Structure 1
């Protein structure tokens, strides 16, 4: 890892293993479950070298208290990956992946999993920024595909790199370098999946990875694209103004009823906001 880049991350408070936030704009008191989310990152490689990341990348993983999951990583292809990536590609952002990305998945020769520790709500954005940095460095080191398992979302290489760049640029403010709503947004776009169509709602999954409740929008309100705009608008507001204030101003309520069990990576301990017709 570049020393200058490491210095910038320290200044931004992204070394979450040793630094805590000075404040919690999102409202950690919203958590009603003892479950703490965690990132599970999946990487594909051209050969077994993927299983031994370069020293600089391994240092980054350790600095953020992430760890390589040796039990599930393997130096051979996983025949389920083509189907798994197929259902996980982000279909909201235009050209979020390419035929080259699909070919890389189909022809991979090794699989590596990296996971975070359980994450406190007030540190969610910082850990997601760390996860995005790890993705960026793994791709730079030769990984050919990446997927966020905690919400089931995948992007092509160019999109992953773009999101990592957005997070880095978003940490720069007139007061210096720090976590900002722009960083939270880049991380949310990287690791959350939306819209998932249910019987009554279009749903998000993965907002817990940036410390926010999920947003469900009634299908009767409009198209899936309309739902995405509303999901993103509400998430941006909650990240910037806080969960309590945003829901109060918009006369919305928080529910803890959801379809995911507490043992599921997709379970959101911060609840669900439902926007009805």
Structure 2
């Protein structure tokens, strides 16, 4: 572990002092945030198929809805039986670049070669239902990929993984469900459907998350990230910021949003980044963190 990464974990460890740890075998329900809006979040899932593939995508989705996807529905307005030339750029922007080997050249090629698109809408979610419904959405993605979909993207945060990564997350979610580990399930769903971190600190931009509303949590904005070299932002830096964000998200899930922000002295406000009719709008608010040094 390099010195920068070690220093960050020392910081995170000190921040966690005084927090109780879950004993082996404990089964604690994940915490969610009180809503600050009448808006309820929902999943929008995008699936790509091959030539004349819309009928196959639609049939697979209908089977998933019938078997386990109550409340999910096919969006006929934007689904199409032809290629969408916006997909190459859209996936390029949305690929998960934090998890190791989250996508491959084969996944990128599949996006280029798609010839059909299907959108699926999840049901509106109250906070206490977000994790269960997000787990169903992850199962839905796996079912579609097993049924022949070439690629998948979560539109409610703009995040895409490669086929292997989607299936890995779905398998982890299945294992967490079987073992009744709801805290792990909440974390897996967050990693599947939220993006973090977004922004470029070398350009003076804040670093943000999008999609935490899909597991009933506020998003985060870090006003300033102080890099070791202010002119260079590396993938390693990105991973360290993601680790920092994930540590706070884990504490919120285990101990609650109010207690977490009180102990860490962060602030919580309404999400003014998006209009409230945007699928990215977070009705649980945004936590602002003034500064983080790497």
The question of 1:248 aligning with 2:262 is answered yes
Q: State the distance in 2 between where 1:259 and 1:114 align.
A: 25
Q: Which residue matches 1:270?
A: 284
Task: Indicate which of 217, 223, 229 corresponds to 2:243.
Answer: 229
User: Are the counterparts in 2 of residues 252 and 273 from structure 1 also a CA contact under 8 Å?
Assistant: yes
Cα deviation 1:8-53 (Å, max 9, x = unaligned): xxxxxxxxxxxxxxx974245x211001111000000113334344
User: Are the counterparts in 2 of residues 54 and 141 from structure 1 also a CA contact under 8 Å?
Assistant: no
The question of 1:90 aligning with 2:96 is answered yes
Query: Alpha-carbon deviation of 1:56?
Result: 6.7
Q: State the distance in 1 between where 2:273 and 2:57 align.
A: 36
> Max radius of gyration: which structure?
2
Between the two proteins, the alignment pairs up a number of residues equal to 250
Task: Indicate which of 204, 207, 211 corresponds to 2:212.
Answer: 207
Cα deviation 1:216-236 (Å, max 9, x = unaligned): 223334443332111100111
User: Are the counterparts in 2 of residues 193 and 204 from structure 1 also a CA contact under 8 Å?
Assistant: yes
Q: State the distance in 2 between where 1:38 and 1:24 align.
A: 21
Structure 2 residue runs without a partner (length 5+) = 1-27, 228-236
Task: Indicate which of 145, 148, 152 corresponds to 2:151.
Answer: 145
Query: Alpha-carbon deviation of 1:148?
Result: 0.5
Q: State the distance in 2 between where 1:71 and 1:57 align.
A: 16
Q: Which residue matches 1:60?
A: 64
Per the alignment, do residues 27 and 155 of structure 1 end up closer, same or farther by CA in structure 2, a change over 3 Å counting? closer
Cα RMSD of the aligned pairs, angstroms, is 2.0
User: Are the counterparts in 2 of residues 202 and 224 from structure 1 also a CA contact under 8 Å?
Assistant: no
Per the alignment, do residues 93 and 72 of structure 1 end up closer, same or farther by CA in structure 2, a change over 3 Å counting? same
Q: Which residue matches 1:172?
A: 178
Query: Alpha-carbon deviation of 1:172?
Result: 2.9
TM-score, with normalisation over the residues of structure 1?
Answer: 0.84
Query: Alpha-carbon deviation of 1:266?
Result: 0.7
User: Are the counterparts in 1 of residues 142 and 170 from structure 2 also a CA contact under 8 Å?
Assistant: yes
Per the alignment, do residues 111 and 27 of structure 1 end up closer, same or farther by CA in structure 2, a change over 3 Å counting? closer
TM-score, with normalisation over the residues of structure 2?
Answer: 0.80
The question of 1:33 aligning with 2:37 is answered yes
Cα deviation 1:66-92 (Å, max 9, x = unaligned): 001111101111111111111111111
Structure 1 residue runs without a partner (length 5+) = 1-22
User: Are the counterparts in 1 of residues 30 and 186 from structure 2 also a CA contact under 8 Å?
Assistant: no
Q: Which residue matches 1:81?
A: 87
User: Which stretch of the first structure deviates more once superposed, 138-147 or 87-96?
Assistant: 87-96
User: Are the counterparts in 1 of residues 30 and 182 from structure 2 also a CA contact under 8 Å?
Assistant: no
